[in-house]
Chain A
Amino acid sequence: MQPFEPVIVAFCCHYCAYTAADMAGSQRLCYPPNVKIVRVPCSGKVDAIHIMTAFQKGVDGVYVAGCLDGDCHFKNGNIRASKRVVYVRRLLEEIGIEPERLEMVKISAGMGERFARIAGQFTEKIRKLGPNPVKRAESPAA
């Protein structure tokens, strides 16, 4: 059996987190390839349904990455996103999916190093949690 490689989606706001990811690139800071970035204009744009759909489709972990507190290009989109993440974590818990699989993180545009570090830490955490139970049940043979 192949070792478990988690699939992780990071919703990144254009102004901070996505820029930080580019910054990590220009500094050649390695992080696990498990992390796939979906660009959104603001972390406040990430809908609860987008997160739920990702889990339903078998993602092992999701994090929403917005600007630092007080730095949101749109004033408070990151704060709304944080609250929404708490809400969706509760939903996940209700249906027996570890809420730790979803996280809100805050990164400023200049923090390439932080981006890479978070990507690494989150991937490790999910690796320990094992596959998304939805996926696990889906293909018991795998």
Chain B
Amino acid sequence: MRVRGLAFFPNFLLREVVIMFTTAASIFLLASLFPASLLEPANPFETPKPIFPEWYFLYVYGFLKFWTWDIGPLKAKTLGIIISMVLFPLLLFLVPFIDRNPEVNLKRRPIAVLLGVITVAAVLFFTIYGIIFE
């Protein structure tokens, strides 16, 4: 059988290995230049300021600060949590079942691309909002 394209082993794997070594090297370099920190021991009676969650939770944190509107009997805080912690992950799970367009070409799926760009932009926006809004 004649195969089109590059054989996974060894041709493609060799390229992967180069990228893997580069990744490992950057981790080792970052670890040497910027060691992991250790602050004062935990003290339940003294809240430090400012206090941030890990960067990948900042979009949730930022969104909760951003959303200040009650809707009907639902309080703003509850709504913020429902949207960012329940609806957003649920929406992620459902992506392949919502987008039924079989086309994979970027130019022939403008709505999906637009929604994707908006989502990425929103996550970035709320991440920054979480940092600068105190």
Answer whether A and B are interacting partners: no
